[in-house]
Structure 1
Amino acid sequence: MSHAGPPRLAFLASDRPEAQEAKARLAARYGSHSVDEADVVVSLGGDGFMLETLHHCLRTTQSIYGMNRGSVGFLMNDYLEEGLLERIDAAERAVIHPLMMTASDIAGEVHHGLAINEVSLLRQTRQTAKLRVSIDDKVRMEELVCDGVLISTPAGSTAYNLSAHGPIIPLDARVLALTPISAFRPRRWRGALLSHKAHVCIEVLESDKRPVSAVADNFEVRRVQKVEIVENREIHLTMLFDAGRSLEERVLAEQFQS
């Protein structure tokens, strides 16, 4: 998409009034193109909207530069209208790969979803979930009794994974986090770090009595029987961060927060 001259920008904004107002001002100042015609997509909102933008751009080659016009802005740059082209030109790049979820439900239907943050399995009723966990075709845990479990990418490790007391993962660590959610048995199990090449398979035990849903970011499948998760290395998403405020720096700094 590159061409001579300054990058062509596409502006996407969340529904929040401040994001919509920012989109109008920036488009008037810098010009606006469709996503397909742009070199860089500028996402205006919070982390939730950045996730929407990344999903919107899964099959494109544009880089994505976020500016915070929402409540949480871990994945966003500070909002400034001045010098946007210069900031984009000097930005540091972070390339991320999504997880691919293949979920089979109790009716035998197979569903596919992509997750930039995490794939999570969650109990649907008051009954705890009973899960069997296999890694690379070897059963590693015969029975995990819990509220759920999640598999997180490094980019998503500071989101739901961190809230579930999972580890923060450096972006270049080439590992995934497998983190239980309120584990009841084994009570002291805190999860595992897996190679980014790992093939994770989670089977739902007693699925009729203890129904479980599977969620790939915002795509949910109810009453699943088996869920398989692998990293999709064929999809490359490039995020841009202001110089000195790279995603790697943010992830490192987050580990020293009190």
Structure 2
Amino acid sequence: MSALAPGTRLAIHASDTADAQRAAHELCERYAMVPRAQADVLVVLGGDGFMLETLHTLGDRRLPVYGMNLGTVGFLLNAFRSDGLVERIARAVPMPLHPLRMRAERCGGQTIDAMAINEVSLFRETRQSAVLSVTVDEIERLGNLVCDGMIIATPAGSTAYNLSAQGPILPIGSRLLALTPINAFRPRRWRGALMPSTAKFRIEVHQPHKRPVSAVADYTEVREVCRVDVWEDRDTTLTLLFDPEHNLEDRIIREQFAY
């Protein structure tokens, strides 16, 4: 069994897939693990979706998270290797992330708050297009956006759904948010905007009963919304740990040269 670095306590959190469970068993055989409540670093085994779920469950005790990919893409994770885990974590590069906060008001008056690490998205719920107005810092910028929906993406999430919707890739540390339409019909030539991370957004739904819209913060969905407020939560910091040779900042830069 390898000895842990002095003072460093690791906990394992694995998805329920067979590969992740086998990897967790192997690591527990090789390294001294502690319960999550006692850990200094949380080792996450799974894919990007599982990593996002894990970050949502950290609560007030926001442990640094070192992920190893046992999913498909693994954009938010390092390569899985069982050897040298303690040494890899000791030299890992911390990457702080600030999530988005979403406050969605349903047409019946109920208000639901949620956190998003990748993006907040709005989607039409029926065959009819959504009609939205977009206000930024109390100034209306678009009064009549006819579309399938729209995305507000963080730099960490800019290479996910935002990129698939032809949105821009944002470097980590850019302190920008991407505002990206999904199949905009009017204004037909509007392709989105880059906004400072300090911006506060309000999206209002026109004719919400005739043209219902849902709002999604990562995987928290609120249906039949009439108003959605979104802002970056600078008071919350989530820390991902990356191997120096394969860190998140470099991955995002490389995505801009992919074809």
TM-score interval, smaller chain:
over 0.9
Contact 2:5 2:86 in 1 (8 A): no
Once the two structures are superposed, residues 178-197 of structure 1 have per-residue CA deviations (whole angstroms, 9 ceiling, x without a partner) of 00011111122110001100
Match of 1:79 in 2: 80
Match of 2:53 in 1: 52
User: Is 1:169 aligned with 2:177?
Assistant: no
Partner AA of 2:234 in structure 1: R
Match of 1:146 in 2: 147
Match of 1:21 in 2: 22
Contact 2:41 2:64 in 1 (8 A): yes
Contact 1:58 1:237 in 2 (8 A): no
Match of 2:44 in 1: 43
- In terms of mean alpha carbon deviation, does 30-39 or 73-82 score higher? 30-39
TM-superposed deviation, 1:61: 2.9
Once the two structures are superposed, residues 59-81 of structure 1 have per-residue CA deviations (whole angstroms, 9 ceiling, x without a partner) of 22310001011112111101100
Size of the aligned set, in residue pairs, is: 256
TM-superposed deviation, 1:4: 7.6
Match of 2:89 in 1: 88
3-state SS of 2:195 partner: strand
3-state SS of 1:60 partner: coil
Match of 1:211 in 2: 212
Partner AA of 1:111 in structure 2: I
3-state SS of 1:149 partner: strand
In 2: Cα distance, 1:158 partner to 1:216 partner: 16
Percentage identity across paired residues of the two chains: 54
In 1: Cα distance, 2:75 partner to 2:222 partner: 28
TM-superposed deviation, 1:58: 4.0
Match of 2:120 in 1: 119
In 2: Cα distance, 1:105 partner to 1:56 partner: 25
In 1: Cα distance, 2:236 partner to 2:167 partner: 25
3-state SS of 1:244 partner: helix
User: Is 1:33 aligned with 2:24?
Assistant: no
Match of 2:227 in 1: 226
3-state SS of 2:162 partner: helix
Q: Which runs of 5+ in 2 are unaligned?
A: none
In 1: Cα distance, 2:85 partner to 2:123 partner: 41
In 2: Cα distance, 1:58 partner to 1:195 partner: 26
In 1: Cα distance, 2:7 partner to 2:21 partner: 24
User: Is 1:110 aligned with 2:111?
Assistant: yes
Q: Over the residues paired in the alignment, what is the CA RMSD in angstroms?
A: 1.2
In 1: Cα distance, 2:241 partner to 2:113 partner: 28
Contact 1:152 1:177 in 2 (8 A): yes
In 2: Cα distance, 1:114 partner to 1:174 partner: 18
Contact 2:101 2:115 in 1 (8 A): yes
3-state SS of 2:210 partner: coil
TM-superposed deviation, 1:28: 1.7
Partner AA of 1:11 in structure 2: I
In 2: Cα distance, 1:76 partner to 1:56 partner: 17
In 2: Cα distance, 1:56 partner to 1:30 partner: 24
